[in-house]
Amino acid sequence: MRNVFAPTPMQKNEHLSAAYDAQIWLKREDLSPVRSYKIRGACNSMRKLVSRTNFVCASAGNHAQGVAFMSSHYGVRSTIFMPTTTPQQKITKTKLFGGDQIEIVLSGDYFDDCLNEAIAFSESQGAHFISPFNDEDVIEGQATVAAEIEAQFGGCPDVIVMPIGGGGLSSGIVKYFGKEPDYVFVEPDGAASFSAAISAGKPIKLKTIDNFTDGAAVAEIGAKNFEKLKDIDPGDVIRIPENRICTTMLEMLNIEGIVLEPAGALSVDALKDVRELVQNKHVVCVTTGGNFDFERLPEVKERAQQFAGLKKYLILRLPQRPGALKDFLATLGPNEDITRFEYLKKTARNFGAVLIGIETASPDDFGVLFSRLDEMGFNYIDITNDEILSQFLI
């Protein structure tokens, strides 16, 4: 592997260390040549089959880039299946890494649909399918993250915090270190396939998943991966709301200048839930990826503000009379800013509906605002956390 790329850095982070009263180190897989650890599994799998000339993979982006990079390195052909919802940044980078050695096929709205298409194609073409996680050679490749941690840290740290999606990285690290460190496994709340597998005692497919944390949003953990992780204590698994992940992405960008994709921020975000475990210990957080499309930044900011309670959306019933809007504006305090206002006057109705977005400097400001609205008799509904209405209106 050293013939392909240098070890990714292990960096002590003073900001996080001070915040959690611990020695926090970041294993910067976001600084690999493809900005994720996925190049490792692709490298290990393809080097063992270098006599083959035709490969296939399915990926939401990072595994695709790893396979594309190694296809160019080994001079072999690969067909890469990606979901139609894959961010354009990841598609563009995959093309850049693979060049003429790859063909990209966009298929399916969800990763699992894309995966089935890729497997069927590989069987029909007699090509070797490289699983993104459910493959012993891929697991072995991802385990090199642990080997580098041991070499760079000078041994085994007290705690390793890492995201888990399909289970390639986590099963590789656990296979390497065994029971020596304390582990914290982190998965997005909207795609908690590992938690579901632990509860069922076997991998099961989730009916629906939230694709926001695309690098870890997998409907079913790999069978080979779960076999290596099935004895994990459920108490060592943390589920994190997608909106909270966004607060950490912004924190790392604004304070540290570190660009992390949602899945790459999972391990850092999880520190909020394990303060007592990590206190006064040496902790390694694996930042697994930095393939972030900055066109998504407004969405990340929006989600972070909503989680922090600094932004809300209301549907306000406003009487259709002159001065009604002025009366409402009088309820706003100095820290409240209108960010969205949509009003449709409907003929022959006494009241009209207004969609209004409001930002504040503190979550407590909303309590004061709602009290003023109640005192003045305004009729309103807070739809910030109403998933169905939010999808249609916000």
pLDDT tens for residues 69-83? 999 999 999 999 998
Q: Are strands 337-343 and 282-287 parallel, antiparallel or unpaired?
A: unpaired
215-220: average pLDDT: 91
Using an 8 Å Cβ cutoff, are 119 and 129 in contact? Answer: yes
Using an 8 Å Cβ cutoff, are 241 and 189 in contact? Answer: yes
Question: Tens digits of per-residue pLDDT, 255-270?
Answer: 999 999 999 999 999 9
CA distance 371 to 326: 18
Domains, the chain, ranges and CATH? Answer: 10-35+138-300 (3.40.50.1100), 39-135 (3.40.50.1100), 309-393 (3.30.70.260)
Backbone angles phi, psi at 349, to 5 degrees: -120, 145
Is the confidence at residue 97, as pLDDT, over 70? yes
> What's the N-to-C CA distance of the chain in angstroms?
47
Give the per-residue pLDDT at 112.
76
Give the per-residue pLDDT at 43.
97
Model confidence at 90, pLDDT cuts 50, 70, 90, reads: confident
CA distance 245 to 188: 8
For the chain, where are the alpha helices, taking DSSP H only?
Answer: 14-20, 38-47, 62-74, 88-98, 111-125, 136-142, 144-153, 168-177, 193-200, 223-229, 242-251, 266-269, 275-278, 297-308, 324-329, 364-375, 387-393
CA distance 135 to 120: 17
Instruction: State the pTM of this model.
Output: 0.91
